[in-house]
Amino acid sequence: MPKALLIIDYTNDFVAPTGALTAGAPAQAIAPRIVELASQFVTAHDFVYLPTDVHTPHDPYHPESKLFPPHNVRGSWGRELFGPLAPWYAEHQGANVVLFDKTRYSSFAGTPLDLWLRERDVTEVHLVGVCTDICVLHTAVDAYNLNYPLTIHQDAVATFKPGGQEWALDHFKTCLNATIA
């Protein structure tokens, strides 16, 4: 049955050393593994989605405006894919490899992702990217609520928060019944 890999928020602002909300070295270190997994999914004729945060700076109506400095502004360097994922996406983008906008932590909130997965009979969702305990976590919770079996690749997720990685991996496993690969 078809599977989908979600590469969450792997952009300069969240990953690069000078990104606005960078998760730093742990996030940079997972780049080769993310690209490796993405290539495996393409080779297997499975699906690769890149749910990517997008914001208007200082939007008075957006809840994140009270929490974080401006990040992932549309058209900015910060919203470009980080490192080797950028040329990988440029080469592979198409019907089965799709970057799309999201404006909340979860990749399902206000996006067509659930419809796309159902149209394609996707029965298994794999998660990689950043941050493990924020956008990956909220996406995992929504996938769980929608009944998608989940796999989290622990060598391809990262966060900036001390203890956040361990806490989230435990939560995926013990509360969302996820496979930790």
* Closer residue to Zn ion, CB minimum distance, 3 or 71: 71
Q: In the bound complex, which residue of the shown chain has the CB atom lying closest to Zn ion?
A: 53
User: 173 is written with which tokens?
Assistant: 């496993």
Nearer to Zn ion, 35 or 140 (CB): 140
Which of 33, 32, 31, 13 is closest to 23 using CA atoms? 13
- What is the C-alpha to C-alpha distance for residues 36 and 38, in angstroms, rounded to an integer? 5
13 touches Zn ion by CB under 5 A = no
Amino acid in position 5: L
Dist CA 28 CA 32 (whole Å): 9
Among 46, 53, 133, 142, binds Zn ion (CB under 5 A): 53
Q: What are phi and psi of 13, to 5 degrees?
A: -60, -30
User: Distance between CA 62 and CA 37 in Å, rounded?
Assistant: 33
Site for Zn ion in 60-99 (CB under 5 A): 64
Give the helix/strand (H/E) hosting 125: strand 124-130
Considering only 51-59, 82-90, 109-117, 155-163, which stretch makes contact with Zn ion by CB under 5 A?
A: 51-59
Q: Choose between 53 and 133: whose C-beta lies nearer to Zn ion.
A: 53
For the segment 116-135, give every residue that binds Zn ion (CB under 5 A). Answer: none
Region of 23-31, 38-46, 47-55, 112-120 interacting with Zn ion (CB under 5 A): 47-55
Q: Which residues bind Zn ion (CB under 5 A)?
A: 53, 64
